[in-house]
Amino acid sequence: MKAVISLFSFVLLSIFFTACFQGNKEQPNVGDGDNFENYSYEENEAVNYEPIDNQMAKNDAMKYFNTIDSRNGIVMSRIPLPSSWQKQNGGDYLYTGPNGIKIHGERGGSFIFSKDPQMNQMYQQSGMQVQLPKSIEQVINEGFMEYADKINRKLVRKYPMPQIAAWDKQFDDQLYKSMPSQKTFTVMGLEWRDPDGTSFLTILHHFVSYDQYGGYWGITYSVLEASEGAFDQAKTQYINGLLNQQINPQWLQAVNQKDMQIAQQSNAAHQQRMANIKSFGDQNTARFNDRMAAMDQNMASWRANQAASDRNQEQFVDYIYGNTNVSDPNTGQTYKVEAGANQYWMNNQGEYIKSDNSLYNPNLDQNINNQTWTEYEEQN
């Protein structure tokens, strides 16, 4: 599914999650410099989350960790997590903690679709991923379950997470929209166990947005990994962190202003097109420009938030199918190969050899039929 997808570009779409859900009775201990300017923290009643006990662990001090929007350098959000956890700058994990606790980086992707076949063709020609919506169950069965079967990972539990879905919607409601749409959010929790006893929680976010012309859909997901003994507490702490995550209002204002400017510029271009149409009286071109203007306004905000989604999509697909990218050091051309090795050697026929031995060189291997092999560099 890395699939199934795109989300995304969907992922997609990544979704910027969160809207200010009220926290529970015990406010986390915030570290120095973590406060948003002019931001007030609200508290509310403890969240009753079934089937998971959603109370914050009382014996582990909490700390806010900031997330920065790489597009503008502004702190986007902050999340309360145990102070014993550490935020990672780069690499495969966002956070790590004791007892093998790891929060994998968020992945996802998205698709766009239209009721008009010509519009779908235009989307594809512009490089967008086009596909009709799939349900969250289809995404799970066609992507996650296939991958789990491949690596002998067992699905232990699966359950809906409506409070996180409501949180996603509350945040999305605060984003600027250039035109009305109907949007649904679904979140599913998937608990897994590997043969060595390592446990995982996948929090899978799924959304579909419909408007009068079509819409877009996608998924994002994050993964908590921990040893079997530490898993239950880490799961509770992570879910509470997500539910109590806070969006920086200054960041939200900046993003909405930017998206509104894009939509206004698109609308101005549309008005100019319409003026040209009126001058020439070309009714066929008028209908075409109507559709173009609608697409401009509908997609302005979406495109802005999905600028990095193509790379997420490729990573998602590679994750599902166990692939990685390698490149020719001489030409820079890239190829997809099976992941899991330290070295990759390729001949001029596209055949490759995987090796974990840094001293191995197939050009010196008498068992190879006198071929020339070039060591390729892994890109992921």
**Structural domain boundaries in the chain:** 1-306, 322-378
**What's the pLDDT tens digit per position in 59-85?**
468 999 998 888 888 898 999 999 999
At 346 the three-state DSSP class reads strand
More confidently predicted of 102 and 302 = 102
Does position 371 have pLDDT exceeding 70, yes or no? yes
Any bridge partners for residue 11, and if so which? 9
pTM of the model: 0.58
Q: Say how far apart CA 213 and CA 314 lie, in whole Å.
A: 27
Work out the pLDDT band at 264, boundaries 50, 70, 90: confident
More confidently predicted of 317 and 27 = 317
**What's the pLDDT tens digit per position in 183-242?**
999 999 999 999 999 999 999 999 999 888 888 899 999 999 999 999 999 999 999 999
Backbone angles phi, psi at 204, to 5 degrees: -105, 115
Any bridge partners for residue 352, and if so which? 346
Structure-token pair, residue 101? 């606790």
Q: Say how far apart CA 331 and CA 196 lie, in whole Å.
A: 42
Q: Alpha carbon of 140 to those of 190, 281, 311: distances in Å?
A: 9, 51, 21
